[in-house]
Amino acid sequence: MPELVVTVLLAPSRLTLKLLRAFMWSLVFSAALVAAAVYGCIALMHVLCRPRRGCCGRPRRTPPACLSDPTLGEHCFLTLRSSGLRLHYVSAGQGNGPLMLFLHGFPENWFSWRYQLREFQSHFHVVAVDLRGYGSSDAPRDVDCYTIDLLMADIQDVILGLGYSKCILVAHDWGALLAWNFSIYYPSLVERMAVVSAAPMSVYQDYSLRHVGQFLRSNDMFLFQLPWLPEKLLSMSDFQILKTTLTHHKRGIPHLTPNELEAFLYGFSQPGGLTGPLNYYRNLFRTFPLEPQELATPTLLLWGEKDPYFEQGLVGAISSRFVPGRLEAHILPGVGHWIPQSNPEEMHQYMWAFLQDLLE
């Protein structure tokens, strides 16, 4: 068929797609402006209530002692083959079994897997990374350095760079979003997955378009589309918004000690410490709209009944995309978003049972 004819035939579809994307971006930035106004008021209120903290975050010069706890593992760095970036990771149990790779969410770092590092190092080589932009890992400032494709290449480079041909991928929140994508595009590198509190991007997209309540639960991702302002708002009154996110009596991590809170704030308080993590969000809508994808990697899915950020209905939406028999899903009653830290014993029980055949 002549190229001109093909171009003419495809023109309506291309125009429709461009209009859809333009409409989507107008909605995103409208929501971003509303979110900026709301979070701006919240940040200003924190400053007025605690004037001594000022309008900026206090830089932490010394990391808290819990980040150097030897029972969690050895601190190492790996230079990635694809990008040349250096990623920081904590490793324990090398030689004890298959690679179990942990991917954290926001606003977290490798330390969010402290309970799992202790639990599974007896039977696995456990590795918890600081994703690019976080903690001691390299943190390029350019938004284009945080596309999904580059982040998936990081995971591939970590697995192969550690000397393995596949792994058990354990992931939460943003790390889980990356894990879903990685299992689709690099299935040979993932033997099993344990995913906590996050849906694949295409599932989240389709579900949110039909459930406005999910958009309202994810209001912060619209704020994070804006340049520089989110960094400023999150750091005001010595990172009070982040502190509230992590320690709120209903939505935060139960029983988080002041020292453990500092383990998360330390990295964000360093110069430019918030820009890399927020750049993950600034790439979220670049691939809209997404095509539905079939999920086939054997997966354990754990979800909190009281998760304030993601509706329970997403579990059913995820199940509908799976090859039958490949997904084991559990909704934990009365539990929130931070399952690896709030309910580690329950999570460990499900994981041991899910992985039992690999240990026999």
Distance CA 51, CA 45 (A): 10
In this structure, the dihedral spanned by the alpha carbons of residues 82, 273, 244 and 112, taken in order and rounded to 10 degrees, is 40
Question: Closest Cα to residue 172, out of 355, 344, 352?
Answer: 344
In the chain, the amino acid numbered 327 is: L
Phi, psi dihedrals of residue 109, rounded to the nearest 5°: -165, -165
Distance CA 83, CA 63 (A): 27
In the chain, the amino acid numbered 223 is: L
Q: Which H/E stretch holds residue 332?
A: strand 327-332
SS3 track for 109-148: CHHHHHHHHHHHCCCCEEEEECCCCCCCCCCCCCHHHHCH
Pairing type for strands 167-172 and 74-79 reads unpaired
- What amino acid positions are annotated as catalytic residues? 173, 281, 337
Distances (CA, A) of 208 to 205, 300, 347: 5, 23, 27
Half-sphere exposure of 65 (CA within 13 A, CB side): 2
